[in-house]
Structure 1
Amino acid sequence: MKVTHLYHSGCLVELDNHLLLFDYYQGELHLNQEKPLYVFVSHRHYDHYNPNIFKIHHPQITYILSNTLRHKYDAYYVDIHQTYQIDDLSISTLLSTDEGCAFLVHVENQTIYHAGDLHWWHWEGEPEQDNIYQKQTYLQEICSIKEPVDLACVVVDIRQEKDYLLGLNAFLKQVPTKYILPIHYFGHYETTKLLLQEHLNNPYHAQILPVTHQNQTFEILV
């Protein structure tokens, strides 16, 4: 599996016979024209959805969009808590704690998770009821993942300051995962240095990919 961190939450996953593009916002796209391309958008926020995805030049492209986007494109529009069979992809959706959905994709005997904005968003100064909702909903959703995950794209946002690891630690504890690609960086690549210094709750020994710059590619064995 080849995984490219494009920018922020955008990533490209290249498998033997498929290309999966998640939440493209910015970054350089280098696409194998011989593999079908599946473009996922978790929700309509500007940092997860760039309308230029509809200008991508590729001979075989399929769009899988949250139904929070307007239904004006030739695409599959997906709702939360549903499972879809699209070609040879099995795609399940989770409820985001912000807007739209998260994706759990089964293809080529691999399982890939992309969080979108599904995260434990705990903010100092917010009403306690809101923070409780974030915690309960996030735990409910990740606890619904019943199978091991090969690659998980998980929100790690240092704007949350001391609470930036809440979502990651909960995910590591709950979901057996081989590789974690931290997302939602907004260019704050110092996050990787912070993660290397943390004592994470990592009982399944997931390997965290050290994202240090835009358009960074990792080749991983799954």
Structure 2
Amino acid sequence: MKKAKIYYIYHSGFVVKTENHFLIFDYYKEPVGNQHKALLSSENIKEMENVYVFSSHSHADHYNSKILEWEKYNDNLQYILSSDIKTDKNKSNYHFMGEGDEETFQDVYVKAYGSTDIGISFLVKVDGLTIFHAGDLNWWHWKEDSLEEQTLAESLFKAHIEKIKEEKPIDIAFFPVDPRLCEFYYIGGEYFVKNIQPRVLIPMHFGDDVDITKQFANIMNKINIKTALINYPGQEIIY
């Protein structure tokens, strides 16, 4: 089986190091304390080869224009950005994608799937692995919404999952597990794994509430889905 090292940055931000590539998803900040040094320091970025930086949409908790400065330290960066993201310049290494677009960048295949918020989700095939990053694609069941709004949210979400089914098998999937949804925090993730059956699911979009990943893993264990427990920024997960 192909291997990868996954590093949790913060919220929905991750680095995936495959055999020959570094993929950086939805960086917006990296808390640095006594526990760990910055993974995405200028020194580390300088050393990386074949770097692909993904941003699923323009919300401030998924996109930080600081990422565009990284190419000062490494001219080997390709940016794959949702088409709702606006940049000051358009450069040859900026690639904008909307739902349904697919492109191959050298040996990295990327397809943009939809979202139930703005922007897109990413399906990436690289070094023999298939990786899915959901962005803000989720079953956003807000208790304060009307029944009509809740029903619409459910049907939109399920329609997106139906399209993603064609990509099975998926090795690594990043999916929102958002504590703001209260007792409904897990329903999107549960529906996703029952339909897509990724080899490992990595929860995201929980801010500082890492405990929710343990609660979520307990639910997933009952249906035999391997789920990562996230304890702190900078954590390494081996696939």
**TM-score under structure 2 length normalisation:** 0.86
- Whether the 8 Å contact between 1:104 and 1:113 is mirrored in structure 2 is yes
Please state how far the C-alpha of 1:164 moved relative to its aligned partner: 0.5
Q: CA deviation at 1:62?
A: 0.2
Q: Which runs of 5+ in 2 are unaligned?
A: 31-37
Identity of aligned residues (%): 31
SS at 2:175's partner residue?
A: strand
The corresponding residue for 1:139 is 158
| 2:118 is the counterpart of 1:115 | no
Residues 49-106 of structure 1: CA deviation (Å, up to 9, x unaligned): 0111011122300000000011534200001122112221111111110110000001
Q: Which one of the candidate residues 57, 68, 74 is aligned to 1:54?
A: 68
Deviation at 1:128, TM superposition (A): 2.2
Do 2:220 and 2:227's aligned partners in 1 also have CA atoms closer than 8 Å?
Answer: no
C-alpha change, 1:47 and 1:199, in structure 2 (3 Å) is closer
Query: What is the match of residue 186 of structure 1?
Result: 207
Q: CA deviation at 1:107?
A: 1.1
Structure 2 residue 11 is matched with structure 1 residue 8: yes
> Does the 8 Å contact 1:93/1:103 carry over to 2?
yes
Q: After the TM superposition, list the runs of 4 or more consecutive aligned residues in structure 1 that deviate by more than 6 angstroms.
A: none
Instruction: State the partner residue of 1:153.
Output: 174
Unaligned ranges ≥5, structure 1: none
- Superposed counterparts of 1:56-205, under 5 Å: 56=70, 57-71=73-87, 72-74=89-91, 75-145=94-164, 146=166, 147-198=168-219, 202=223, 205=224
Alignment match of 1:40 (pick from 38, 51, 54)? 54
RMSD (CA atoms): 1.6
Residue 161 of structure 2 contacts residue 195 of structure 2 at CA under 8 Å; is this kept in 1?
A: yes
Contact 1:173–1:201 (8 Å) recurs in 2: no
Equivalenced residues, count: 218
Return the letter of the residue paired with 1:178. R
1:198 Cα offset (Å): 2.7
User: Structure 1 201/119 Cα, relative in aligned 2: closer, same or farther at 3 Å?
Assistant: farther
Distance 1:114 1:32 in 2: 25
